[in-house]
Amino acid sequence: MLRLTWVQPEDLLGHELRQAAQDGREPSAIAARWKAAGGREAPERAGASPRRVSRYLRLLAEDLLDELADLPSSLTEQEPTDLEKIRALCPQWPGKSEVRRSSPTPAALEAAWLGRAVGCLLGKPVEKLPLEGIRALAKSTGNWPLTTYFTARGVPPDLLGTYPWNRRSASTSLAENIDGMPEDDDLNYPLLNLLLLRRHGRTFTTTDVAEIWLAELPAGRTFTAERLAYRNLLSGIEPPHTARHRNPFREWIGALIRADVHGWTHPGDPAAAAEQAHTDATLTHTANGVYAAMFTAATIAAAATGTHDVHACLRTGLTVVPPRSRLAGAITHALRLADSHEDFDTVVDELHATHTATYHWVHAIPNTALLAAALTHADGDFTGSICRAVSGGWDTDSNGATAGSVAALLTGAPAALPDRWTAPLKNRLATSVADFDGTGFDTLAHLTHREAARP
């Protein structure tokens, strides 16, 4: 029986009830109707529940999804999605007078691409595992605190039985079997955005993003908010409604992982990077999901000048996030924790205590907070940043990827990245996007540099 993940209405409803409670709607009456009809909670970690429900329950889920969408939110004014309203709420929005534009070198961009791949690869085998599982697996092989890729060598069988590696990644992302960069959505989306800029330049629209996806991105390579937006496009729904229609994942991490190219190609212009990330993100996301992408793009745009430390870059990223939003509060809290505790495990434990009961492990708010904490605590050091980001759990491969991108860009050159991280990648990555399969990171850097230098 085919149970396609992230699209079954009966599974989406539980996520939308949770999303409604987070974004200022009052879903309790609808939740009671769903429970009384026999509806279940959303799957905790998987994308689909194991059993098919009755036709009645599926139709009820569809109706209730639409009813939830019509509920008013008390957070609308402080957490808008419209770009002009976001700008109006950000008193420190970067002005054009602050722009110091200097295109990053191909070497710096190669380091950024490599860093993104390495961080992603480090996190792949432990994606979906709980924090205690990640710690136990690493400690069992003497790799804690993390300093290199995970390995299955020396892990007790009973521990692997309790905390199995991610089944999609175990054969390509453990130290003993890495052979180039395997395909991952955390690399597919930067490739798509590079293709987007090559075809449309910086004046691309959200519709252009949608058309690139439909032409170049297999539907099976999409997940959560991206899969639902893709489905909505095929149903004739146009952007930005694709982000809202029966899409409970619109504040999850998907838009954030698409933001790097927008930052790489706007060195010294965090406002433009954030605006471009907004155009991309609103195909699939709203509010805090969009802010996470803007924050990341602005942070990377500051890092791309080669003139700032990681702390200044993160402060720049915060200037494009509405200050009363949940994301701004979470990032500020994470930065304070990272500055206050010498032991990063203490920082992680505090973040999990704050966010786990409220947010799904793929939600943008806790993951962006963890990302900011990891970069801060490591002082931008490459190995320290990716290892802290992955050791913190939640969406391990995505957090490792973005931390790696920022920290590697700050190093300025591939040679600054330790060989134990980069050598197994063999300067090639696998992907189903366009003609990029097997492409080297040096080639991707030159193509990105061309877009960064475009007038």
Dihedral angle sign, alpha carbons of residues 63, 64, 67, 68 = negative
Is 397 a known ligand-binding residue?
Answer: yes
How many other CB atoms are found less than 10 A from the CB of residue 360?
Answer: 26
Q: How far apart are the C-alpha atoms of 188 and 185, rounded to whole Å? A: 5
Please answer whether residues 445 and 409 qualify as being in contact, where contact means their C-beta atoms are separated by less than 8 angstroms: no
Is 171 a known ligand-binding residue?
Answer: no
Q: How far apart are the C-alpha atoms of 338 and 436, rounded to whole Å? A: 38
Please answer whether residues 100 and 298 qualify as being in contact, where contact means their C-beta atoms are separated by less than 8 angstroms: no
Is 398 a known ligand-binding residue?
Answer: yes
The three state secondary structure string of the chain is CCCCCCCCHHHHHHHHHHHHHHCCCCCHHHHHHHHHCCCCCCCCCCCCCCCCCCHHHHHHHHHHHHHHHCCCCCCCCCCCCCHHHHHHHCCCCCCHHHCCCCCCCHHHHHHHHHHHHHHHHHHHHHCCCCHHHHHHHHHHCCCCCCCCCCCCCCCCHHHHHHCCCCCCCCCCCCCCCCCCECCCHHHHHHHHHHHHHHHHHHHCCHHHHHHHHHHHCCHHHCCHHHHHHHHHHHCCCCCCHHHCCCCCCCCECCCHHHCHHHHHCCCCCHHHHHHHHHHHHCCCCCHHHHHHHHHHHHHHHHHCCCCCCHHHHHHHHHCCCCCCCHHHHHHHHHHHHHHHCCCHHHHHHHHHHHHCCCCCCCEHHHHHHHHHHHHHHCCCCHHHHHHHHHHCCCCHHHHHHHHHHHHHHHHCCHHHCCHHHHHHHCCCECCCCCCCCCCCHHHHHHHHHHHHCCC
**Which two structure tokens, joined as six digits, stand for 448?**
């990105």
Q: Which residues are annotated as a binding site for Mg(2+)?
A: 395, 397-398
Q: Which residues are annotated as a binding site?
A: 395, 397-398
